[in-house]
Amino acid sequence: MEHSGKNPPVEPIRIDTGRFDVPLDWRKVFGRSGAVEIEVGTGKGRFLLDRAAKNPDRCFVGLEYARAYLNTLALRAVKRGLKNIRVTRCEAGLFFGELVPDCSVSAFHLLYPDPWPKKRHHKRRLIQRAFLADLRRVLVPGAILNIATDHPDYFEWMLDHFREWKGTFVIETKILSTPTERKRFAGRTNYEIKYLAEGRTLHLLYGRRTGF
């Protein structure tokens, strides 16, 4: 495909679901094999781009619904020559529920999602019983969970939901509340850098999918 102008073409790294059978075959999506990691809500891609650059043997999928952010991420990935990234604009519940094949994902990243703080909006939160059922299905045994929020209520909400699957997920937490703790933690996303600078308490949730 020919391209003119300053920006490189971004089409090759976008997942066009119309081109693939459902559920997706990661070998066809990436053109090679490799452990697959998915980040939901990439923003402009700071975390995903860095992780993909440091792990060229792995395959990375970024979900982002904001078109401007998705375009920025795609352009940055192409400019950096990162061939192990694919991106898509898709609602996460739909993507995991219908497009991701069973036992095919080695890591799930969810960094500073919208907490939907009003009670009437809690149903919009990503972490729900139905979503965790899909997450359980798609993660390989030993797959890692990497989740962070600056919202204490959403943090407790997520913990409560994961505890309902305590035979499936092993969870550890870390709360960065003091200046010393925050100083030792380098920001992984633009939001995280901002929140650390503002002195916010950060709630981190780490875990893994068990073999059961």
What residue type is assigned to position 120 of the chain? R
Report which DSSP code applies to 14. Answer: B
CA distance 32 to 60: 12
What residue type is assigned to position 107 of the chain? A
CA distance 174 to 182: 11
Determine the number of helices (DSSP H) and then strands (DSSP E) in the chain: 8, 7
* Separation of CA 95 from chain center: 12
CA dist 148 → 111, 113, 206 (Å):
5, 8, 9
Catalytic residue among 16, 114, 153, 160: 114
- In the annotation, is 114 catalytic? yes
- Indicate which residues carry an active-site annotation: 114
